[in-house]
Amino acid sequence: MKNIQKLMIILGFVALNYACTDWLEEENFTKISSDYIYENEEGLKVGLGALYNLQRNYERVSDATYGNIWFYCADDLGNVRTWNDAQIYKANMTAQNMPKEKWTSGYQLIDRANAIISKAPAVTFASETDKKRIIGEAKVIRAMTYFRIWQIYDNILIDTIPTDNKNAFDPIEYKPALKEDVLKLINSDLDYAIKSLSYSVKPGQISQGLARHIRAQVAAWQSDWTTMANQCDSIIEKGGYSLQPIDKVFAQELNHKEAIYTYQFDEVLGGKNELAGGGSHVLSALFTARYYEIPGGYMIEDNNWGGNSYAWTTPNDYLKSLYYVNPTTGKSADKRYSYYFYPDTVISNNPKSTNYGKAIPKNKYPDNYRQYHWSVMKFRDFSKPDGRASSYKDFIAYRLAETLLMGAEAHWRMTNNPTDPKALDYIGRVRSRAGLTNVAAIDQQVILDENARELNFEGYRWFLLKRMGVLTSQVNKYHTFGSAKTNQVVSGMQPHHVRWPIPQDQIDLMAPSFPQNPGY
């Protein structure tokens, strides 16, 4: 992989600022040499801070990181209105046109993790615990990145040797790694981290809880239900996490007891990806209609209704059907319908409107999804200016509700008992928080439906559907395209779309022994 990494070696030391603004001190290290970084304890801490920064940007959702947006949009719950229409299961889903950052930036991130993991053991630390912690956090980042690349592409490279000026141009024969070898490396990294990290960490810091959560996810891909169940049990019983009241899950402050890992942003310390506060993201804007464009002057840009928005993707009718909305009242017994989404009935917020404070008449709602559509409220940010789409609000990457649903699935599959008491207990906790009674029994569809209600538009459902072998069928039934009811159509996903094409310039670099994914 060194010929790939030679394209990135200069970039590997650019983003050397601490990323987790709540627990690492901001200082500019962009001119520090690699010799310093990897030869003493303080330098390795600098390198770890840079690694956090790169990892946050790798998963950041902005209008410039289309690869990440894709996974929020391309499952069975979304309706796509605009730019990514051509890429999601359509003509532009090619090796030349698909975003390549998930591959290239992923391997850059892995290479910098490799450097810390390989160099730290030989460095003297004041505390052996601190050394193991730094290595453990770097191993989790490497494991997360390999896992994501493998989930997206299936056929990937393994490399654990960091690029330096001695090996950057070494010849190498490129061959796809075996699935067993990829998952073995990921599990080894996570097992080390589980032994080396604490559950109790500062906001934005990698914890034992995160390592166990990802270990459970990997076990699911291996159908290792016992390991999956054990990892979830440990998080739930020993991690110190707790489900928050439904109105607090996505409130302004997200560093709460339900959050297992939260990406940290800070506008004062940010503005660029390389800075401690990071670059902004546009999660709120992506999934919210531009209510302020409804004709008639009823609405103004106001963060209570999402503020400045894009409305590129909105929830579809299939997701709404899972909340069993009363057609007469427009309400659902499921509290998530009220707290995770903006209401269908829009209340005029323009003081100059004669309708101010009242519901906009139904016959005034336009058949235009940019202006009006049921929209996601999970990422609403009251701290940003009303007229700006970009946000510096933290966002939760992993949370206890997902662990509970994974644990429910694991115990059901492990015992092959649809009424397994622990499985029902775990899914029941999530449903109880939503104001619902528990299910009587569990099967795969029950797990999928509860996941949709709880974890929609959080970026992981596409991978869940792929693991369960129902991605193509679910997408072809429910994923839609269209900017209005009058032009909405169902997706046409092909079987080979369950994996992305490897970027063509990377295939060219690895020729002739590394094949393109089938169908591309």
Q: pLDDT confidence of 86, banded at 50, 70, 90? A: confident
Residue 377 has pLDDT above 80, yes or no: yes
What pLDDT shows up at residue 20? 47
Q: pLDDT confidence of 428, banded at 50, 70, 90? A: very high
Percent of the chain with pLDDT over 70: 92
Average pLDDT over residues 443-471: 98
- What does the alpha-carbon distance between residue 313 and residue 456 come to, in Å, rounded to a whole number? 12
CA 53 to chain centre: 16
Average pLDDT over residues 367-380: 97
Is position 404 within any domain?
no
Q: Is 109 exposed, middle or buried (0-12, 13-18, 19+ CB in 10 A)?
A: buried
**Residues of the domain holding 216:** 2-76+94-245+503-510
Contact 314, 81 (CB under 8 A): yes
User: If DSSP codes are grouped into helix, strand and coil, which group holds residue 344?
Assistant: coil
What pLDDT shows up at residue 35? 60
Domain of 163, CATH number, reads 1.25.40.390
Q: pLDDT confidence of 13, banded at 50, 70, 90? A: very low
Q: pLDDT confidence of 63, banded at 50, 70, 90? A: confident
Residue 7 has pLDDT above 60, yes or no: no
- What does the alpha-carbon distance between residue 334 and residue 504 come to, in Å, rounded to a whole number? 46
CA atoms within 13 A on the CB side of 82: 15
Contact 310, 369 (CB under 8 A): no
In 179-297, which residue ranges form alpha helices assigned H by DSSP?
179-196, 208-221, 225-238, 283-286
What pLDDT shows up at residue 37? 81
What pLDDT shows up at residue 11? 35
Q: pLDDT confidence of 477, banded at 50, 70, 90? A: very high
What pLDDT shows up at residue 10? 34
What pLDDT shows up at residue 312? 94
Average pLDDT over residues 314-332: 96
Is position 173 within any domain?
yes
Number of domains in the chain: 1
**Is the alpha carbon torsion for 465, 247, 278, 73 positive or negative?**
positive
User: If DSSP codes are grouped into helix, strand and coil, which group holds residue 437?
Assistant: coil
Is position 163 within any domain?
yes
pTM equals: 0.93
Residue type, 118: S
pLDDT digits (tens, 9 = 90+) for 382-399: 999 999 999 999 999 999
Is position 518 within any domain?
no
What is 23-48 written as a DSSP string? TS-----TT--HHHHTTSHHHHHHHH
- Alpha-carbon dihedral of residues 334, 335, 339, 342, nearest 10 degrees? 40
What pLDDT shows up at residue 24? 39
Average pLDDT over residues 490-516: 95
Q: pLDDT confidence of 250, banded at 50, 70, 90? A: very high
Q: pLDDT confidence of 64, banded at 50, 70, 90? A: low
Please, what's the b/e burial string for 426-464 (b: 16 or more CB within 10 A of its CB; e: otherwise)?
bbbbbbebbebeebeebeeebbbebbbbbbbbbbbbbbb
Integer-rounded Cα radius of gyration of the chain: 23
pLDDT digits (tens, 9 = 90+) for 100-122: 999 999 999 999 999 999 999 99
Residue 15 has pLDDT above 50, yes or no: no
Residue 48 has pLDDT above 70, yes or no: yes
Is position 134 within any domain?
yes
What pLDDT shows up at residue 82? 84
- What does the alpha-carbon distance between residue 436 and residue 438 come to, in Å, rounded to a whole number? 6
- What does the alpha-carbon distance between residue 29 and residue 15 come to, in Å, rounded to a whole number? 8
What pLDDT shows up at residue 2? 52
Residue 12 has pLDDT above 50, yes or no: no
Residue 140 to residues 24, 100, 208, 254, 339, Cα–Cα distance (Å): 18, 23, 9, 22, 32
Give 476-497 as a 3 state SS string: HHHCEECCCHHHCEECCCCHHH
Q: Which helix (H) or strand (E) holds 80?
A: strand 78-80
What pLDDT shows up at residue 111? 96
Give 275-291 as a 3 state SS string: CCCCCCECHHHHCCCCH
Residue 32 has pLDDT above 50, yes or no: no
Is position 115 within any domain?
yes
Average pLDDT over residues 218-235: 98
Is position 164 within any domain?
yes
Residue 335 has pLDDT above 50, yes or no: yes
CA 207 to chain centre: 17
Average pLDDT over residues 315-325: 98
Mean pLDDT value across the chain:
92
Q: pLDDT confidence of 169, banded at 50, 70, 90? A: confident
Is position 332 within any domain?
no
Residue among 118, 119, 138 nearest 49 (CA): 138
Q: pLDDT confidence of 208, banded at 50, 70, 90? A: very high
Contact 482, 79 (CB under 8 A): yes
Q: pLDDT confidence of 170, banded at 50, 70, 90? A: confident
